[in-house]
Chain A
């Protein structure tokens, strides 16, 4: 890819022109950025569900599960990216490297969210479900999980949005996503500062975060019509 700095368009405000000039390349970055932001959260949620359920069902497991997943979240992302391949026997720059690391983050964030979401289900409701003859798995999917949706959705918003920014970091170690716009910007900034790709990267990241956040909000609304029922 050749990107030529054009001195007449080095103002930060020319990010739109920069986008138009490289639109197919930028859209590709945006697209892969979107996938990298979304898929790990979905997989992370699927892993967090049984863990959160365990933390809730066997109360003594709550403190260790929550502390360990909480600690995972404190590992700097760049370190996690670097650590994943040797730990899992992958090549450096294996395409799974970043998704796996991001999934770890999502799990770290969502286990607590799931456990707290399940804790938000009224005890009376759970007891009633059991007494009416729901088997544990039926009860989980038909009663507890649907009622926990609002709390889980709030956690998903945080997970998705923070993933958008962590994915960008992965771009700086060579993965194709919006993070590369920042690398390009730095490369083109010699000898003079050249802002358009950097600003474009920021704008697209923020837009993506907003869109994904709204998608989660919309999904939550779709799944919880009962929350909008006005009390009598």
Chain B
């Protein structure tokens, strides 16, 4: 657990970067600090490992006042990942990862062995071990940065915009892998970002800071989206926050209705009503797309790939309300397709039914 107790940072030039911050980052959870540029996120983060010394107040690491520890010892217990990874260009990847174990005097062979395991754990091939950082892409370097921070198995990790310098596709990959890793490791993590979507996706709790270093709101992502405390937070959280909040509510068991289907490769059904959509599945009952029965089928005997409309998303039974609603809205028939965990068709729901479910949830949550 990390606890900020009335922590203020005033820089020598008079700038108050952080103002009487009270904040607790719970053990084993991801606490995200988010806010506009210059609101004091980095300053707050770096006060934890004393890269920056607070002007007043105390930061507690469990029951220890961080100010009472030798800085290098404090820092060796705290993993740290920064935006451009900050790898050591003169050390091989394996030695970069083993940095802290080397500092702690761990046997070199032992430390390298652990480093190799970590390399694999962050999703990089073993033959990268002997490379130098310049031979890796930005996203790969960032993974090494994460591995390096984990090498001595510190209970606490600090991450300052670790994924913001890579392209959106890689960023999403890194975020997903980070969440998976955290699920296995359960570290106490303080994560800084200026991207509210990233904060909502990664945070167990999110602290929104406003410029001047004030904590505006500390809440779980769903609470932040559904009940922003003031106009600043509401504006920062963004416009479609209501819709995004649905991504945090499970739909429960959707009461689906059976959906008529035709199998890919079967003959095109004839003589039915025009202007209706028929769901196409494969041999394993996995939905493939929709067939417009009102279309002109000249030259076609069977249901083939090229006739399919594939725009619809799928909802899983047990998934979120957001996924369920999106399945309805993206389906040309207006019926959202629901599948089981194996991807096989269960049935369909309509947007109206999902909305009723949402309303029911609302009344449940506000007695």
Bound-state CA distance A132–B99 (Å) is 8
Q: Are B73 and A128 in contact (CB under 8 A)?
A: no
Residues from chain A with Cβ under 8 Å of B158 in the complex? 131
Residues from chain B with Cβ under 8 Å of A232 in the complex? 134-137
Bound-state CA distance A81–B321 (Å) is 87
Asked if A71 is at the interface (CB within 8 A of a chain B CB), the reply is no
Contact with A along B66-78 (1 / 0, CB 8 A): 0000001111101
Task: Classify the interface of chain A: helix, strand, loop or mixed.
Answer: helix
Bound-state CA distance A226–B72 (Å) is 27
Q: Are A132 and B134 in contact (CB under 8 A)?
A: no
* Contact among A124, A138, A229 with B103 in the assembled complex (CB-CB below 8 Å): A138
Contact with A along B131-148 (1 / 0, CB 8 A): 110111100000000001
Q: Are B134 and A226 in contact (CB under 8 A)?
A: yes
Q: In B68-122, which residues have CB < 8 Å from any A CB? A: 72-76, 78, 80, 82-92, 99-100, 103
Bound-state CA distance A6–B9 (Å) is 84
Q: Are A229 and B49 in contact (CB under 8 A)?
A: no
Residues from chain A with Cβ under 8 Å of B137 in the complex? 232
Closest to A230 in B: B135
Q: Among the interface residues B73, B83, B100, B134, which one has the most CB atoms of the partner chain A within 10 A?
A: B134
Number of A residues whose C-beta is below 8 Å from B? 22
Residues from chain A with Cβ under 8 Å of B75 in the complex? 130-133
Asked if B51 is at the interface (CB within 8 A of a chain A CB), the reply is yes
Bound-state CA distance A232–B135 (Å) is 5
* Contact among B84, B85, B148 with A132 in the assembled complex (CB-CB below 8 Å): B148
Residues from chain A with Cβ under 8 Å of B99 in the complex? 132
Whole-angstrom distance from the CB of B192 to the nearest CB of chain A?
A: 13
Q: Are A231 and B134 in contact (CB under 8 A)?
A: yes
Closest to B151 in A: A132
Q: In B291-305, which residues have CB < 8 Å from any A CB? A: none
* Contact among A131, A134, A138, A231 with B135 in the assembled complex (CB-CB below 8 Å): A231
Q: Among the interface residues A122, A127, A128, A134, which one has the most CB atoms of the partner chain B within 10 A?
A: A128
Q: Are A129 and B88 in contact (CB under 8 A)?
A: yes
Whole-angstrom distance from the CB of B141 to the nearest CB of chain A?
A: 10
Residues from chain A with Cβ under 8 Å of B73 in the complex? 133
Asked if A153 is at the interface (CB within 8 A of a chain B CB), the reply is no
* Contact among B78, B100, B134 with A229 in the assembled complex (CB-CB below 8 Å): B134
Whole-angstrom distance from the CB of B94 to the nearest CB of chain A?
A: 13
Whole-angstrom distance from the CB of A126 to the nearest CB of chain B?
A: 8
Residues from chain B with Cβ under 8 Å of A129 in the complex? 88
Asked if A59 is at the interface (CB within 8 A of a chain B CB), the reply is no
* Contact among A135, A143, A146, A231 with B72 in the assembled complex (CB-CB below 8 Å): A135
Whole-angstrom distance from the CB of B128 to the nearest CB of chain A?
A: 10
Q: Are A132 and B135 in contact (CB under 8 A)?
A: no
Whole-angstrom distance from the CB of B91 to the nearest CB of chain A?
A: 7
Contact with B along A100-142 (1 / 0, CB 8 A): 0000000000000000000000101101111111110010000
Closest to A143 in B: B88
Closest to A146 in B: B90
Q: In A188-232, which residues have CB < 8 Å from any B CB? A: 224, 226, 229-232
Bound-state CA distance A138–B75 (Å) is 14
Closest to A139 in B: B72
Bound-state CA distance A200–B73 (Å) is 61
Asked if A166 is at the interface (CB within 8 A of a chain B CB), the reply is no
**Extra contacts besides A133-B100, A143-B88 (9): CB < 8 Å:** A122-B89, A124-B85, A124-B86, A125-B88, A131-B51, A147-B90, A226-B91, A226-B92, A226-B134
Q: Which residues on A are within 8 Å of B, measured CB to CB?
A: 122, 124-125, 127-135, 138, 143, 146-147, 224, 226, 229-232
The 3 closest A-B pairs by CB, nearest first: A128-B86, A133-B76, A133-B75
